[in-house]
Amino acid sequence: MEAIQQLAKPLKKSQVDAASRFWLEGDWESKEFAQLRQAFPNPDDAISIKAIVINALYGTNIFAITKVADCVERVLRRNCSTGSDLVEELVSEIRVITKQGNYSFAAKYAHFFVDSNLPILDWYAEWMVGKHLGQMRSKNPKRYHKFTEDIETLKRVAGLNCSCEDLDSYLWVAGEYWYWKEYPKVQVNTGLKLQFENVLKNPGSEPVLAALLGLSEGRV
């Protein structure tokens, strides 16, 4: 008989639903991505422009961005990989230029301009998934494969049937909050910090954020 699996930190559908509301009400979506997708719907089009916009808006800190865009173009034109394999291939190709594993950039490019079902990998989202799964985390040695496998485990064990975007929204905000709560001196998104401080003092002052975080009065 298969062992009963339980999340180390529970996650409810209502929290992910609240994340969707929080994202929309806070106007967190970068309109530039929607505009670029509309103007250049083909993943092979305007790769340099798309790469520059992601690097600028998300601060992925790639200095040789035009050379990296050439890497992205080579990978997409080969059209060999899909799904999480595509992100790993992008990282491998880009590493030749940057000498780094630029997973955040590669995952964001793939999500926004190739396949929106690919989850966005950033450090806080990765950390938050680990908090939920505890010992159930994947042992895959490749970082993005591990992340996507962990996402699927989280959705399955939590009984979630939600979009990639909604779960991404939850993981980013919750990851920033709970890490900031453990380490108050860490720098988090300035747009979120005031709301975090408010909900810490009084969950009722930020009801959508409190619902996202699964907080109730007196339990912050």
Question: Model's pTM, two decimal places?
Answer: 0.90
Domain co-membership, 126 together with 205: yes
Number of compact structural domains in the chain: 2
Q: What is the pLDDT of residues 9-34, one digit of tens each?
A: 999 999 999 999 999 898 777 788 88
Q: What is the pLDDT of residues 105-136, one digit of tens each?
A: 999 999 999 999 999 999 999 999 999 999 99
| 64 vs 99: CA distance, rounded Å | 11
Domain co-membership, 102 together with 167: no
Note the pLDDT of residue 4.
45
Contacts 24+ apart (CB under 8 A), 52-60: 54/105, 54/108, 54/109, 54/112, 55/105, 57/30, 57/32, 58/104, 58/105, 58/108, 60/102, 60/104, 60/105, 60/108
Q: Which of 113, 131, 153 is the last residue of a domain?
A: 113
Given a contact cutoff of 8 angstroms between Cβ atoms, the answer to whether 90 and 81 are in contact is no
Top mean pLDDT of 2-16, 24-38, 139-153 is at: 139-153
Given a contact cutoff of 8 angstroms between Cβ atoms, the answer to whether 150 and 175 are in contact is no
Domain co-membership, 22 together with 41: no
Residues paired with 219 in a beta bridge: 216
Given a contact cutoff of 8 angstroms between Cβ atoms, the answer to whether 146 and 138 are in contact is yes
